[in-house]
């Protein structure tokens, strides 16, 4: 009587099953919450009915796991035997009799063994998902930074316009309004594009985070069958966009103000001349660069001041150096490029002019070592009859031709992520040289040393 009372007390102290919880299969009447499921008996037990499995030696060998629903799904529907093996050929869980019939001669392993394999794979998937999330978070940061720089450029351009055009009072009020409207529309277009990309990235992060949570959940489960049956739907990340080539390209405001003033040239010629031209504007970023003789290929000869390089017909026996290109006619600058930089290059024959990360490979004849033949360098190819832009092994012909010009202007704006090339043409009638835009590369320029 006392034992029955104690048992009754223990039963009453146990919680009844709530919606979504696994009930005890042994309880009659009020179902109590199961605390364990037996994979041998295929029954879920409350604390009271679990007691024999903790006491009887034969039952103590049974495999107990956290409460599981639908234990009948662990039985082979064809042979009514426990699913305890995994067919590696068909990637399905099977019973012992399946290995003698439909899966005969197929390699099979215990569920636990395949569970460990799939768990390891899920761990790799989780790592990849986290990397994808971090990559997209960084992409959002890059987009926001790019838009911020675009805003700063727009603000500077508008301020310059106000300073010049307000001095013309009524005669240029319409010109001022049109100028500001153009700049604002370009900025608005950039912001709208950025907002769309950020929204898409945030949605992908949300999808990847949800998948990551699902993967984490299954990496911690002890339910071999459920994990293996669900693995196929989890192993591939949700559909995402390839963001490696997606960039927000801030609009160029260069020349906007000048075009506005050109409309007033006949009546306001003196005021127009007060506006600095593009070359003068860029010259405030002029930098003094020299070539690094330790990087020059042995058939290239540098001047004494290291400002001129010439292709010579014979090897001039330069000393070996780890920084020297051993197979390509190339030489790098000595000074690292930071912030905003402008310089001009006088050229003849044919040349590649551009910038590269310091870490570019120097040894070997592979095309990826050539400037413009990899994702570490950006170049403009110049010859007597054409220009072309090169990056990552792709060369794009440009519509403009040298037209007698033998000078190229290069403007690097690292904060804005742009590298622009200009044809420098001599001015006529005593006027200053003029710049004509040839091409602009857009990149984050993530590495520190750019030469």
CATH of the domain at 346: 2.60.120.920
Measuring CA to CA, how many Å separate 115 from each of 126, 227, 249?
Answer: 16, 7, 47
Residue 3 has pLDDT above 90, yes or no: no
315 and 400 share one domain: yes
Examine residue 123 and state whether it is found in any structural domain, yes or no: no
Reported as a pLDDT band with limits 50, 70 and 90, residue 355 is very high
Mean pLDDT, range 239-243, rounded to an integer: 82
286 plus 354 within the same structural domain = yes
438 and 328 together in one domain: yes
Which position has the token pair 């001349």?
273
Sheet with 377-382, edge to edge strand ranges:
351-356, 377-382, 387-391, 394-397
Last-in-domain residue among 174, 204, 234:
234
Do the bridges between strand 36-38 and strand 43-45 make them parallel or antiparallel, or are there none, so unpaired? Answer: antiparallel
| Final residue belonging to a domain, choices 234, 267, 288 | 234
End residue of a domain, out of 234, 254, 284? 234
The Cα–Cα gap between 312 and 407 comes to 21
Taking 50 as the threshold, does the pLDDT of residue 7 lie above it?
no
| Across 270-274, average pLDDT | 58
Q: Which of 268-272, 280-284, 393-397 has the highest mean pLDDT?
A: 393-397
Note whether 36 and 67 are within 8 A (CB).
yes
Least reliable range by pLDDT among 64-73, 127-136, 204-213, 402-411 = 64-73
The pLDDT assigned to 253 comes to 67
Instruction: Give the integer Cα–Cα distance in Å for 173 and 293.
Output: 55
Query: What backbone torsions phi and psi does residue 10 show, to the nearest 5 degrees?
Result: -65, -40
Domain of residue 197 covers 144-234
Distance, in Å, from the CA atom of 129 to the CA atom of 236, rounded to the nearest integer, reads: 10
Are 198 and 141 in contact by the 8 Å Cβ rule? The answer is no
201 and 297 assigned to the same domain: no
Residue 393 within a domain: yes
Domain co-membership, 284 together with 433:
yes
From residue 94, give the alpha-carbon distance in Å to each of 64, 81, 230, 398: 20, 9, 15, 63
**Which residue, among 414, 416, 340, has the nearest Cα to 146 in the 3D structure?**
416
55, 162: one domain: no
Looking up tokens 């069958």, which residue turns up?
225
Residues 283 and 421 in one domain: yes
Query: 217 and 149 share a domain?
Result: yes
CATH number for the domain spanning 46: value is 4.10.830
Q: What is the pLDDT of residue 352?
A: 92
Say whether both 199 and 340 belong to one domain: no
Looking at the structure of the chain, the number of domains it has is: 3
Determine, yes or no, domain membership for 255.
no
Judge whether residue 150 has pLDDT over 80. Answer: no
| 124 occurs within a structural domain | no
Tell me the torsion sign for CA atoms 156, 159, 161, 167.
Answer: negative
Is the distance from CB of 416 to CB of 247 less than 8 angstroms? no
310 shares a domain with 213: no
User: Do 419 and 341 touch, CB atoms closer than 8 A?
Assistant: no
Q: Quick check: is 87 in a domain?
A: no
pTM of the full structure: 0.48
- Residue 84, classified by CB atoms within 10 Å of its CB into exposed (0-12), middle (13-18) or buried (19+), is buried
Q: Pick from 257, 255, 251, 268: which is nearest to 160 by CA?
A: 257
Give residue 261's pLDDT band: very low, low, confident or very high (50, 70, 90). low
> What pLDDT was estimated at residue 264?
63
- Among candidates 378, 451, 450, which has minimal Cα distance to 419? 378
| 228 and 285 both lie in a single domain | no
Share the mean pLDDT of the chain: 81
Distance CA 364, CA 325 (A): 8
149 pLDDT band (50/70/90 cuts)?
Answer: confident
In a domain? residue 213? yes
Which residue, among 125, 120, 93, 114, has the nearest Cα to 214 in the 3D structure? 125
> What gap in Å lies between CA 261 and CA 259, rounded to an integer?
5
Q: Do 353 and 219 share a structural domain? A: no
pLDDT at 243: 81
pLDDT reported for residue 139: 82
Helices 111-165 + 224-234 axis angle, to 10: 40
Whether 430 is in a domain gets the answer yes
At 163, the pLDDT band (50, 70, 90 cuts) reads low
Instruction: Examine residue 389 and state whether it is found in any structural domain, yes or no.
Output: yes
């Amino acid at each position: 009587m006392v034992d029955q009372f104690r048992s009754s007390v223990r039963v009453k102290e146990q919680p009844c099953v709530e919606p979504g919880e696994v009930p005890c299969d042994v309880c009659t009447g009020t179902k109590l919450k199961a605390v364990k499921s037996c994979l041998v008996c295929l029954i879920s037990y409350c604390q009271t009915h679990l007691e024999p499995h903790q006491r009887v030696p034969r039952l103590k060998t049974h495999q107990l796991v956290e409460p599981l629903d639908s234990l009948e799904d662990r039985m082979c529907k064809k042979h009514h035997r426990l699913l305890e093996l995994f067919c590696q050929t068909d990637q399905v869980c099977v019973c012992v009799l399946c290995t003698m019939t439909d899966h005969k001669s197929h390699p099979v392993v215990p569920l636990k063994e395949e569970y460990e394999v799939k768990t390891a794979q899920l761990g790799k998937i989780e790592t990849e998902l986290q990397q994808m999330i971090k990559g997209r978070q960084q992409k959002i940061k890059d987009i926001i930074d790019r838009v911020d720089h675009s805003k700063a450029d727009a603000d500077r351009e508008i301020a310059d316009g106000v300073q010049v055009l307000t001095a013309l009072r009524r005669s240029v009020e319409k010109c001022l309004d049109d100028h500001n409207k153009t700049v604002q529309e370009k900025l608005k277009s950039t912001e709208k594009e950025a907002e769309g990309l950020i929204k898409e990235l945030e949605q992908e992060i949300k999808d990847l985070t949800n998948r990551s949570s699902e993967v984490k959940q299954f990496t911690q489960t002890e339910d071999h069958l459920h994990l293996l049956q669900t693995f196929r739907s989890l192993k591939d990340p949700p559909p995402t966009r390839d963001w490696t080539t997606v960039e927000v390209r801030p609009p160029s405001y260069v020349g906007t103000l000048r075009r506005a003033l050109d409309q007033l040239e006949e009546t306001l010629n003196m005021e127009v001349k007060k506006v600095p031209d593009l070359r003068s504007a860029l010259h405030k970023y002029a930098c003094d660069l020299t070539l690094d003789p330790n990087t020059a290929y042995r058939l290239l000869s540098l001047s004494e001041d290291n400002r001129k390089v010439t292709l010579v017909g014979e090897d001039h026996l330069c000393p070996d150096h780890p920084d020297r290109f051993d197979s390509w006619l190339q030489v790098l600058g000595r000074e690292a490029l930071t912030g905003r930089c402008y310089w001009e290059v006088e050229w003849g024959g044919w040349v590649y002019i551009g910038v590269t990360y310091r870490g570019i490979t120097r040894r070997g004849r592979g095309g990826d070592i050539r400037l413009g033949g990899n994702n570490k360098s950006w170049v403009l190819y110049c010859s007597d009859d054409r220009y072309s832009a090169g990056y990552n092994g792709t060369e794009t012909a440009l519509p403009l031709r040298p037209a007698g010009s033998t000078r190229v202007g290069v403007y690097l704006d690292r904060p804005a992520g742009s590298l622009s090339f200009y044809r420098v043409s001599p001015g006529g009638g005593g006027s200053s040289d003029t710049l004509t835009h040839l091409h602009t590369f857009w990149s984050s320029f993530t590495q520190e040393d750019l030469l």
